[in-house]
């Protein structure tokens, strides 16, 4: 039955809004009826339908009830009490818990007449509730920030959560591994626990390894493998089957390697990708999962470890409309993060960016990413040809593996496109000679390559426990430090170890050799100089090699001499 607007006598907040000329009487009556029918507070209805300014409504309500309006922009999500009030209640009543004092819980609401919200929260928490008035628009934004922060918190995941973690994968049947085995709750829980623990500890890889009498699981953390679990060897087929199901692989095929992917949804706003590879070994399938965290691509260039001059050279090369930037180093040296950091800088609405990868490791919105698939005839060269027909500004090639791909990439760099790619070589100079050995004409290399970045990843010293190390000057000279550096009296540090780190190290830092192709280097390339000659010229022009960059990190106290030796010692 509809309510007659003429019969309504405005009272309370509705009357106040009319008196303060925030609403006319007709609109106020209609809003009052609609809010009542929809069972939502009047202020929420007015703001949702853009009938009045939320700030004006908040101040009018404050005057009506003789209270002040709190500024929620001053509250950070981490300042607010965690998990006191269920998310459904927060969303239902648009009510945000602000702080707890003894047995009293103070809650921000936009409508002080919303007694139902206070009563439900009081019943749910067992605490006395006090309402604090807030601007409706500010309140909505604060609730979103608060709930997002709660979603991305993983520290409280316990065994009860392990079976409920969502993964994207397909179920398949296998004759030798029964359906009951695939649905085995302990195996599901165990695999999920291994994946979650790896994320928590900051591991980059997980290795599931079967042997004749033992089965072990290892994490690669800060570049070092460490054993974390030794389940029974009898569980090896079940664990392998479970991981393959999660990554949509053929669980009946154990004779050839397979590649897959897992997306693990930790919350509504947080997901981690795993790149999966299986390898048939003598005693079963070894499975390695590479953990791909999309947030790594958005860290920003300042935290990667480039020295100021190296960072500027990279940024200058990225600003060029054409040319080729090559990133080189062994597997696991951080090439992908360097490339994606550059792409992230370039990723604007005005640019058309396409990438060909094997496979795409990190998904970036605004970039057209293609997974190469040689089985169907889509290799790097075929993808590059297709890109060039779509008017690209920037092209990224996952890896230059053959002459055909190299030639197409170079032609693209010579014809008004910026090309980024990788090669597996040990230094900048070797990258140039490797391309010559592939068969790329020296003239094309000299006129297209603008910058080469060779890199490694070294472990960072833990800031909480690192301690000074006393090393004689003659030893420092032997290690490669210059007399000028020694004369500055810098302090070397060594790892100690504490409860906040892994054996004295925490996290990793990039160590870089960044070489800009100058006119002199270009002439040497065209004369087909050796990598040794090119490296000497780069040194003469002031470009630090990997060893010198690593020693600079030692001088800065970022890493230890032992770690510098581990990753760059000749």
Q: From residue 156, how far is each of 83, 160, 162, 189 by CA, in Å?
A: 11, 10, 11, 16
Counted residue by residue, the chain has a size of 570
Q: Given this model, what pLDDT does residue 9 score?
A: 62
- pLDDT value of residue 406: 92
Q: Would you identify the CATH topology of the domain 297-458+508-546? A: Rossmann fold (3.40.50)
Burial 7-21 (b: 16+ CB within 10 A, else e): eeebeebbebbbeee
Alpha helices in 347-495 (DSSP H): 380-388, 403-414, 428-438, 442-448, 473-479, 483-487
In the prediction, which pLDDT does 18 show?
Answer: 81
Q: Tokens 């597997």: give the residue.
A: 331
Residue 349 contacts by C-beta under 8 Å, 6 or more apart in sequence?
366
pLDDT value of position 556: 92
d(Cα 275, Cα 396) in Å, to the nearest integer? Answer: 20
Report the distance separating Cα 548 and Cα 561, nearest Å. Answer: 12
What local confidence, expressed as pLDDT, does residue 269 receive?
A: 66
Cβ distance 454 to 513 under 8 Å?
yes
- Answer yes or no: same fold for 12-153 and 297-458+508-546: no
Q: Any bridge partners for residue 403, and if so which?
A: none
Give the separation between CA 521 and CA 527, rounded to whole angstroms. 10
pTM of the model: 0.65
Q: What kind of architecture, by CATH, is found in domain 202-292?
A: 2-Layer Sandwich (3.30)
Domain 12-153 in this protein, CATH class: alpha beta
What's the burial of 568, exposed, middle or buried (CB within 10 Å: 0-12/13-18/19+)? buried
The residue among 446, 453, 379, 368 whose CA lies nearest residue 413 is 446
Residue ranges covered by each domain of the chain: 12-153, 202-292, 297-458+508-546
Q: What are phi and psi of 183, to 5 degrees?
A: -95, 10
For the chain of 570 residues, list the mean pLDDT of each consecutive stretch of 10: 56 78 82 78 79 82 79 73 79 83 84 81 84 84 76 43 50 42 71 90 92 94 90 91 92 90 77 90 95 70 88 94 94 86 91 88 85 86 90 91 91 93 91 92 94 94 90 91 91 88 88 95 94 94 94 94 88
Q: Which two tokens stand for residue 454?
A: 């060779």
């Amino acid at each position: 039955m509809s309510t007659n607007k003429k019969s309504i006598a405005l009272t309370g907040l509705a009357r106040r809004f009319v008196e303060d000329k925030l609403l006319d009487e007709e609109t106020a009556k209609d809003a009052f009826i609609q809010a009542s029918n929809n069972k939502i507070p009047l202020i929420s209805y007015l703001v949702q339908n853009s009938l009045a300014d939320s700030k004006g409504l908040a101040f009018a309500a404050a005057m009506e009830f003789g209270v002040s309006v709190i500024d929620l922009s001053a509250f950070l999500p981490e300042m607010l009490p965690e998990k006191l009030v269920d998310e459904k209640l927060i969303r239902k009543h648009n009510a945000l818990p602000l702080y707890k004092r003894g047995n009293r819980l103070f809650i921000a609401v936009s409508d002080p007449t919303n007694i139902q919200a206070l009563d439900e929260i009081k019943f749910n928490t067992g605490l006395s509730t006090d309402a604090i008035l807030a601007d409706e628009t500010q309140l909505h934004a604060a609730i979103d920030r608060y709930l997002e922060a709660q979603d991305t918190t993983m520290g409280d995941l316990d065994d009860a959560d392990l079976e409920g973690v969502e993964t994207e994968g397909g179920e398949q049947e296998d004759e030798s591994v029964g359906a009951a085995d695939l649905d085995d709750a302990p195996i599901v829980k165990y695999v999920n626990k291994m994946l979650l623990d790896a994320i928590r500890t900051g591991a980059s890889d997980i290795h599931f390894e079967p042997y004749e009498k033992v089965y072990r699981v290892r994490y690669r953390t800060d570049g070092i493998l460490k054993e974390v679990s030794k389940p029974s060897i009898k569980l090896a087929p079940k664990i392998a089957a479970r991981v393959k199901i999660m990554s949509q692989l053929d669980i009946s095929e154990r004779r050839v390697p397979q590649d897959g992917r897992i997306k693990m949804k930790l919350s509504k706003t947080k997901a981690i990708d795993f790149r999966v590879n299986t390898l048939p070994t003598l005693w079963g399938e070894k499975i390695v999962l590479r953990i791909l965290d999309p947030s790594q691509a958005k860290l920003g260039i300042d935290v990667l470890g480039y020295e100021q001059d190296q960072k500027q050279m990279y940024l200058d090369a990225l600003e060029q409309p054409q040319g080729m930037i090559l990133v080189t180093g062994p597997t696991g040296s951080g090439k992908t993060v360097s490339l994606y950091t550059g792409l992230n800088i370039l990723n604007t609405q005005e640019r058309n960016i396409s990438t060909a990868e094997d496979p795409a490791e990190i998904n970036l919105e605004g970039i057209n990413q293609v997974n190469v698939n040689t089985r169907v005839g889509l290799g790097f060269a075929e993808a590059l040809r297709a890109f060039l027909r779509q008017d690209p500004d920037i092209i990224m090639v996952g890896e230059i593996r053959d002459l055909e791909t190299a030639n197409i990439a170079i032609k693209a760099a010579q014809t008004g496109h910026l090309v980024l790619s990788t090669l597996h070589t040990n230094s900048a100079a070797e990258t140039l000679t490797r391309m010559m050995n592939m068969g790329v004409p020296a003239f094309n290399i000299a006129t297209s390559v603008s910058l080469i970045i060779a890199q490694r990843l070294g472990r960072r010293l833990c800031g909480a426990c690192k301690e000074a190390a006393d090393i004689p000057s003659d030893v420092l000279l032997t290690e490669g430090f210059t007399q000028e550096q020694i004369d500055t009296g810098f302090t070397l540090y060594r790892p100690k170890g504490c409860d906040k780190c892994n054996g004295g190290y925490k996290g990793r830092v990039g160590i870089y050799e960044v070489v800009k192709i100058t006119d002199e280097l270009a002439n040497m390339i065209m004369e087909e100089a050796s990598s040794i000659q090119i490296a000497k010229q780069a040194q003469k022009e002031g470009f630090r090699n990997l060893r010198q960059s690593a020693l600079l990190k030692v001088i800065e106290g970022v890493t230890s001499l032992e770690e510098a030796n581990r990753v760059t010692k000749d």
